[in-house]
Amino acid sequence: MITQLLHRSPVRPARRRSASRRCLVVGAGSAGRTIARDLRRSPEFGLTPVGFLDDRVPRRRRVAGLPVFGSTTDLAELSVGLAIDTIVVAIPSLPAREIRRLTRMAAAENLDVRYLPSFGDALEREARLSDLHHVRLDRLLGRGEQRVVRAASRAALAGKRVLVTGAGGSIGSELCRQIKGLGPLALSLLDHDESNLHRLKMELDGEALLDSDDVIIADIRDQTRIEQVFRERRPEVVFHAAAHKHLPLLERHPCEGVKANVLGTKNLVDAALAAGVERFILISTDKAADPTSVLGATKRVAEMILAAHATDPTRFASVRFGNVLGSRGSFVSVLAEQIETGEPVTVTHPDVTRFFMTVEEAVGLVIEAAVMAEFGDVFVLDMGEPVRIIDLVRNYIRQLHLDVDDVEVRYTGLRPGEKMDEALFSTSEECVPTAHPRIWSARARSEAVDLDGLDSLTSAAIRNEAAEVRGCLAEVVPGYRPCPTAQLEGCLTTYYPDGF
């Protein structure tokens, strides 16, 4: 019976085919017990119930063989401690306002939400898996997700020693999830934040003792430490996702942007060459195309560092894409927090547009691009058409079953370094097709890569000379002009990482 229901379930399949998503069931009543029981009997559905949340059932009581961990007010804390991906709201009689409250709480923690229909509908029959609905990030895009990892990509990582920098971040952790499912010989998780590593390890392995060699605390700015890690772990494939990416912060603190995004990348590239790494993939950004911000300029320098090693044995490539839905501190989490607190939703401009992908979609294509790495290429992911931020806001509000007119939107104006519309290719690049229909190559019209000013740039950053760093960036990156210092005052009053 369950198998038949699964075939016509409207719910999106689990993100990771190799491991179920850990979920909490909200409601320990009959509907919750039925859903928990069926999920445990049906691993192909991709959800593993860990326990219950219920405002009326005592904590620590066991229901259907699973513990009641607490009430719904404990959701944020428990989602971290238990490495939860999804919550299932299994109370058919729950008022719409309570569903909205739970959805907002979950969105603030980047959790998926699935919920049962109204009580009236459920009266006709027993609750079942096909009743679950899903608050979907991809619907905000106005297009469907496309996530297919081809056999050649699997073969390129299967049996390899893989290292991911920034492993605890949004992009890095999704890279680790997908790479683990491809059968690497070893997967090394490198990050400077032990809390992020703990959560990721718990999610990947179901435990996080943090006593294994594959969990590495290291700062990519520490050259000696990075060299040591590469000697000991001997990675064959490296995905470099560690970076400072918050645009307004880097406008105010350009030295830190250079230390992480430029010097950190150089340290990794040098260590990769010394260790004989086969492939090295840099996670870049669309803001590196004709950059107008410190973020974009530092990521463009990182791309140039890889391109300068085009003829070396290690195959280098940068992968450039835009904003990612579902990443930590991104559009959805900020928007959810504003709606939850009743504050106005802040948007920079009514006509501002950005490119968006879901994190799973972007990472799947990054893995595909890794196979094509050859000569310091800059690959650009097909992100569809740019989307107006205000349209994303309205779509999200509707998914929360709120009236768009009831949510105040306040326009704040573009901040220093921001563009009205992003571009994936610079004016000095050609868009060249590749063997993959959703990956393009950004071919520079001039083959020369000039890094003569790199030492001066990193030296100024180490000395924390912000004005000198801005000037050096302008010398290294053709066409980049730093924002006048006077414009930077007050640019942090409204804060988003990617410039919404």
* Residues involved in catalysis: 287
Q: Which helix (H) or strand (E) holds 217?
A: strand 215-217
The residues that bridge with 113 in the sheet, in sequence order, are 87
CA-CA distance, 421 to 232, in Å (whole number)?
Answer: 44
Vertex 236: Cα angle to 230 and 241 (nearest 5): 70
Which residues does 195 contact at the CB level (< 8 Å), separation at least 6?
168
Beta strands in 351-408 (DSSP E): 353-354, 356-358, 377-381, 387-388
CA-CA distance, 101 to 80, in Å (whole number)?
Answer: 19
Amino acid at 33: R
Query: What DSSP string runs through 176-204?
Result: HHHHHTT--SEEEEEES-HHHHHHHHHHH
Cβ(149)–Cβ(367) below 8 Å: yes
Vertex 61: Cα angle to 55 and 65 (nearest 5): 115
Query: What DSSP string runs through 14-79?
Result: PS-SSSPEEEEEE--SHHHHHHHHHHHH-GGG-EEEEEEE-SSSPTT-EETTEEEEE-GGGHHHHH
Vertex 210: Cα angle to 205 and 211 (nearest 5): 110
10 Å CB burial of residue 133 (0-12, 13-18, 19+) is middle
Cβ(369)–Cβ(376) below 8 Å: no
CA-CA distance, 185 to 208, in Å (whole number)?
Answer: 20
Amino acid at 365: L
CA-CA distance, 384 to 413, in Å (whole number)?
Answer: 25
